[in-house]
Amino acid sequence: MKRNNVYYLITLLLMVCSFNAAAQQPYTEKHRPQFHFSPAAKWMNDPNGMVYHKGVYHLFYQYFPDGTKWGPMHWGHATSKDLVSWQHKPTALFPDSLGYIFSGSAVVDSLNTAGFAKNGETPLVAIFTHHSPKPELEKIKKNQYQSLAYSLDDGETWTKYEGNPVLENPGIIDFRDPKVMWHEASKKWIMTLATKDRITFYSSPNLKDWQKESEFGSKLGAHGGVWECPDLFPLDINGKQVWVLLVSINPGAPNGGSGTQYFTGAFDGKTFVPDSAQTKFIDYGTDNYAGITWSNTGDRKIFLGWMNNWQYANEVPTEAWRGAATLPRDLKLVQVNGQHYLSASPVKELDRITQTVFEKSKLNLNKEIDLSSHIANAKGQFRLDLTFNAEESFNILLSNKSGQKLTIGYDKEAKQYFIDRTQAGQSDFEAGFAKKHLAPRISVDKRIQLTLIADAASVELFADQGLTVMTDVFFPAETISILKINGPKKNKLTELTVSKIASIY
Ligand code: FRU
């Protein structure tokens, strides 16, 4: 799988030459992600308002511009043409008399259903939760309600709708994170809203008048915490349309704290009917939360999450900024043993900054394979693609000069992948951080194929074509410079590729 070196060099050159607000920052601070999105400074949490419009991917995010801990929420804004390099934009939405600007989504209102366009513009409309910090509203459980903002200049500037809020709170304490999509069959907008321990669907012809359609999930799925940040979209599998409902949950994730479960089934514009009672998670690592997909991307569904966990998000040891996003991932549906599963893989656009440095086929794992020399000048930014010809246990060791180590692997007896960050660097900021995390193997393939992507302070494991995914952050004192694989003799590596990934700054 040779990456195109000429393309890689041209992209790097363009990135260095192009004027970009981000390029003025050094972005060399300790633990600063080098090819994951992070705010130039201060706090970020959930990705919001992700919409693709006129060749540009817009990413808004929960942002507190005055501190590195969670505070009164704004929507930060960044754009990208390739999902790889990001340009920071001015803050899009500020708190106002109705409250802080909590999570939500954005759509292209090409039919001008809301009537915001006056001169033929194509409006972008953001649908978000206003969260009022007023105790009197909190007491009667009416402090979260849904509002609109619109842009008539392709997302550059935003105006709040004077009729806000458009959806009042019926008396539910957690009533937030609207994800809106156009439902072609019923020619209506559908809002998927997290309402405490369930999802409530609303519909609207114009984004302003909303009618409740149904509720889903109070007795299904994981319920160890509050439901947040849902998403609803169809995906095709074998010529059939299946609906996917993502629901973030905090706490109650498989390895503690925050995580994102999903359901598959049917949706008719009114009701979601699940096709399975099994609880499935989009990521079994601890650091992928509140993820949703970009709207207006046609059949392609691109997902991005917040690479953090509420269990320690306010304490992670970074200074200038706090929080980052996962890599953008393409979502697909796969069928295993009659069940629908999501598979996630890093977007192919990442190849533009990825350069193969070592490739080998047919290797015997009869002793440790030391790949350290191949990542010697990668600054801890690399990708490993492996195919084993048998389902056997193995370990991949990432280590540094201080002897800190992160171990990623597979346990054949338990049929589990794992990431062990017990000795991976700084962990004193939270008692539960230094743990070994487990994930079920879903695939029934006799071979094991996996992709591992490491940045300065994160690792993302896409096993079995992304059927099992784990995302973990870690904070090594020094760059990862040691990379080794070991496993039993009978476990043969049929393909091995090591690539380094360039910084986007
Ligand atoms: C999820 C969340 C959302 C909320 C936002 C506030 O991480 O709690 O439910 O809208 O963060 O910042």
Instruction: Write the CATH number for 459.
Output: 2.60.120.560
**What pLDDT is stored for residue 11 in this prediction?**
52
Q: How many angstroms separate the alpha carbon of residue 228 from the centre of ligand 1?
A: 7
- Using DSSP, state whether 222 is helix, strand or coil: coil
Distances (CA, A) of 411 to 156, 250, 472, 492, 495: 49, 28, 18, 16, 20
Any atom of ligand 1 within 6 Å of the Cβ of 146? no
Residue 19, in any domain of the structure: no
CA distance 488 to 435: 25
Q: Are residues 172 and 293 in the same domain?
A: yes
Average pLDDT over residues 424-432: 98
- DSSP letter at 445? -
- Give the domain extent around 50: 31-346
Any atom of ligand 1 within 6 Å of the Cβ of 176? yes
Instruction: Give the model confidence (pLDDT) of 240-273 as tens digits.
Output: 999 999 999 999 999 999 999 999 999 999 999 9
Residue 338 belongs to domain with CATH number = 2.115.10.20
Any atom of ligand 1 within 6 Å of the Cβ of 229? yes
Residue 291, in any domain of the structure: yes
**What pLDDT is stored for residue 362 in this prediction?**
87
Q: Are residues 228 and 368 in the same domain?
A: no
**What pLDDT is stored for residue 166 in this prediction?**
98
**When comparing pLDDT for 69 and 4, which is higher?**
69
Which positions ≥6 away from 145 have C-beta within 8 Å?
Answer: 98, 129, 130, 165, 167, 168, 169, 175
Site to probe by mutation for ligand 1, drawn from 45, 61, 130, 326 as the one with most ligand atoms within 8 Å of Cβ, is 45
Whether 46 is catalytic is yes
- Using DSSP, state whether 165 is helix, strand or coil: coil
Q: Are residues 290 and 304 in the same domain?
A: yes
Nearest CA to ligand 1 atom 9: 228
Any atom of ligand 1 within 6 Å of the Cβ of 309? no
Nearest CA to ligand 1 atom 6: 102
Residue 4, in any domain of the structure: no
CA distance 190 to 405: 46
**What pLDDT is stored for residue 8 in this prediction?**
58
Q: Which atom of ligand 1 lies at the shortest distance from residue 194's CA?
A: 9
Domain edge (last residue) among 296, 311, 346: 346
Model confidence at 12, pLDDT cuts 50, 70, 90, reads low
Cα atoms found within 13 Å of the Cα of residue 270, Cβ hemisphere only: 1
What percentage of the chain carries pLDDT values higher than 70? 95
Q: How many angstroms separate the alpha carbon of residue 290 from the centre of ligand 1?
A: 8
Q: Which amino acid does the sequence have at 196?
A: K
Domain edge (last residue) among 346, 366, 400: 346
- With a cut of 50, say whether residue 18 has pLDDT above it: no
Residue 166, in any domain of the structure: yes
Q: How many angstroms separate the alpha carbon of residue 371 from the centre of ligand 1?
A: 41
Any atom of ligand 1 within 6 Å of the Cβ of 73? yes
Cα atoms found within 13 Å of the Cα of residue 143, Cβ hemisphere only: 16
Q: Which residue among 46, 177, 231, 472 is the active-site one?
A: 46
Domain edge (last residue) among 286, 318, 346: 346
**When comparing pLDDT for 266 and 19, which is higher?**
266
- With a cut of 50, say whether residue 1 has pLDDT above it: no
If we measure between CA atoms, which residue out of 396, 413, 412, 414 comes closest to residue 454? 396
Average pLDDT over residues 78-104: 98
**What pLDDT is stored for residue 393 in this prediction?**
94
- With a cut of 70, say whether residue 5 has pLDDT above it: no
Q: How many angstroms separate the alpha carbon of residue 103 from the centre of ligand 1?
A: 6
Q: Which amino acid does the sequence have at 252?
A: G
- With a cut of 50, say whether residue 90 has pLDDT above it: yes
Q: Are residues 359 and 331 in the same domain?
A: no
**What pLDDT is stored for residue 23 in this prediction?**
47
- With a cut of 70, say whether residue 9 has pLDDT above it: no
Residue 10, in any domain of the structure: no
Q: Which atom of ligand 1 lies at the shortest distance from residue 73's CA?
A: 12
**What pLDDT is stored for residue 7 in this prediction?**
54
Site to probe by mutation for ligand 1, drawn from 228, 292, 310, 311 as the one with most ligand atoms within 8 Å of Cβ, is 228
Q: How many domains does the chain have?
A: 2
- With a cut of 90, say whether residue 190 has pLDDT above it: yes
**Burial (CB count <10 Å: 0-12, 13-18, 19+), residue 178:** buried
Q: Are residues 111 and 175 in the same domain?
A: yes
Instruction: Give the model confidence (pLDDT) of 299-352 as tens digits.
Output: 999 999 999 999 999 999 999 999 999 999 999 999 999 999 999 999 999 999
Q: Which atom of ligand 1 lies at the shortest distance from residue 174's CA?
A: 9
Average pLDDT over residues 62-91: 98
**What pLDDT is stored for residue 492 in this prediction?**
84
Residue 18, in any domain of the structure: no
- With a cut of 70, say whether residue 22 has pLDDT above it: no
- With a cut of 80, say whether residue 4 has pLDDT above it: no
Q: How many angstroms separate the alpha carbon of residue 75 from the centre of ligand 1?
A: 12
Instruction: Give the model confidence (pLDDT) of 204-238 as tens digits.
Output: 999 999 999 999 999 999 999 999 999 999 999 99
Q: Which atom of ligand 1 lies at the shortest distance from residue 104's CA?
A: 10
- Across all residues in the chain, what is the average pLDDT? 95
Q: Are residues 285 and 377 in the same domain?
A: no
Q: Which residues pair with 236 in a beta bridge?
A: 241
